[in-house]
Amino acid sequence: MDKQIPFNFDTYDLKEELDRLRGKVKKPNIFIAGATGSGKSSVVNHVFGRDLTKVAAGEPVTRGIHQFMSDEIAIVLYDSEGYEIGSARQQAYADEVIGFVERAQTKGAAEQIHLVWYVINASMKRVTPLDRALIKQLNEATSVAVLLTQIDQVDMDELTALRQELMDVVSEEAVFQVSVADELLNDPELRTHLDWERLVTWSVEQLDHSLQEGLLMEIHAESEAILKLKRKKANRIISGYVASAGTAAAVPLPFADAIALTPIQVTMSVHLFRYWGVKANDDMLKTLIGSTIIPQIGRALSKTILLTS
Amino acid sequence: MKFFPGANAAASVINATVASGITWAIGLAINEVAYRNAMDSSKTIEQLLDSDFGSLFEKFMEQNPVTKNKS
């Protein structure tokens, strides 16, 4: 029988574990489409709380479309260069976008486009025929959210008219009203007209369970509703480690399970800290787990044993 | 225990169940601490772990019907 080596926290390679975890998280591919000036960058910056196109190096994957990916980001972003409304390039843009997405959907699951955010500037007060045609085609290939941006520039009637123009190309629940104007974001009553939270929730639900974690890791959680969603979805991460712990402990030898369990529980703790974006370097995380969490578990368990025996 | 057929299997099941319950409680407690940290940034994660983790872990152990009387 193999001799089991006791878990040694001092020699536990947290960096290697973090690298392994980063590699394990499946990244959703999100495509941002829309005309020039529609507000694509503002959407990305608001939802993710930072300009991901600056964090990751952008590689052109085809004409006019850049892929932004990095080890530091749990999603892959595809950004299209856009087009001037009314320009000759409109149709070429549509062909490039739909061609790219349709080709991606024939590839393996990891390379497919899992979500499209199609951005339309509401202040233009119209949905162009090209927008409608493109949204319809994209919607046949993958999940498409239509984001009406700068809604602070239109009145309710104009907004209703815009939504009606989209009715036959995309379902009503996939249309989102957004704005990054401070007067809307900072006013509790006006904020109710914004769909930022609904956009995040809807987008997460469109993804396979294995891809949800990546998107939730990157989301800039600015509201209680999104934080609650994030907390709820973390149960899936925990469940995976619980299953491993159960398997590791199914050995009826005294203390054998403790040797196998500690690395599982330490890794789970690191995983959850990373999921929540806890700002701590690797050494600090190790200290937190080693000097704060593990002793508290020991104390709580001995207390429980004393109370129940 | 060797003299009772099936005792090893039963011990394995109990071990696995308790280990799962403890791991589940640790996970939920860390998740809750991180959630509180995101909700209220006035306390650091270290402070929250110091002040809240132990009681949360106990609470989730208590709530788990499998581990509450077996740990």
**What averages of pLDDT result for each successive group of 10 residues across chain A (309 residues)?**
59 77 87 92 92 79 87 91 76 90 95 97 92 95 97 93 94 95 88 93 95 94 90 93 83 61 86 86 79 80 59
Whether the CB-CB separation of A135 and A146 falls below 8 Å is answered with yes
Res A257: pLDDT: 56
Q: Which of B19, B28, B50 sits opposite A248 (nearest CB)?
A: B19
Beta bridge partners of A12: none
CB pairs under 8 A between A and B: 123
> Measured between CB atoms, does B22 come within 8 Å of chain A?
yes
Q: Is A277 left (phi over 0), alpha (psi -120 to 50) or beta?
A: left
Res A198: pLDDT: 95
Nearest residue in chain B measured CA to CA from A244: B20
> Measured between CB atoms, does A224 come within 8 Å of chain B?
yes
Res A170: pLDDT: 95
Mean pLDDT of B45-65: 87
Greatest pairwise CA separation for chain A in angstroms = 80
| Segments in A142-293 forming alpha helices (H) | 156-166, 182-185, 188-191, 196-206, 209-218, 224-249, 256-275, 282-287
CA separation for the pair A242, A164 (Å, rounded): 48
Greatest pairwise CA separation for chain B in angstroms = 58
A208, with CB counted inside 10 A (0-12, 13-18, 19+), is: exposed
Nearest to A59 by CA among A78, A74, A75: A78
Q: Does the beta-carbon distance from B16 to A250 stay under 8 Å?
A: yes
Nearest residue in chain A measured CA to CA from B12: A250
> Measured between CB atoms, does B66 come within 8 Å of chain A?
no
Contacts of A257 in chain B (CB under 8 A): 15, 19
How far is the alpha carbon of A35 from chain B, nearest alpha carbon, in Å?
Answer: 35
Res B43: pLDDT: 86
Res A258: pLDDT: 61
Res B5: pLDDT: 62
Contacts of B57 in chain A (CB under 8 A): 296-297, 300
Q: Considering Cα of A136, then A142, then A148, then A150, what sign does the dihedral take?
A: negative
Mean pLDDT of B11-21: 76
Q: Which of B1, B15, B61 sits opposite A251 (nearest CB)?
A: B15
How far is the alpha carbon of A127 from chain B, nearest alpha carbon, in Å?
Answer: 38
Higher pLDDT, A251 or B64: B64
Q: Which of A246, A288, A296 sits opposite B16 (nearest CB)?
A: A246
Contacts of A262 in chain B (CB under 8 A): none
Q: Does the beta-carbon distance from A243 to B34 stay under 8 Å?
A: no
Res A146: pLDDT: 98
Whether the CB-CB separation of A28 and A114 falls below 8 Å is answered with yes
Q: Does the beta-carbon distance from A276 to B34 stay under 8 Å?
A: yes
Contacts of B61 in chain A (CB under 8 A): 300-301, 304
ipTM of the complex: 0.83
| The pLDDT of residue B7 is above 70 | no
Res A20: pLDDT: 79
First to last CA, chain A: 34
Q: Is A49 left (phi over 0), alpha (psi -120 to 50) or beta?
A: left
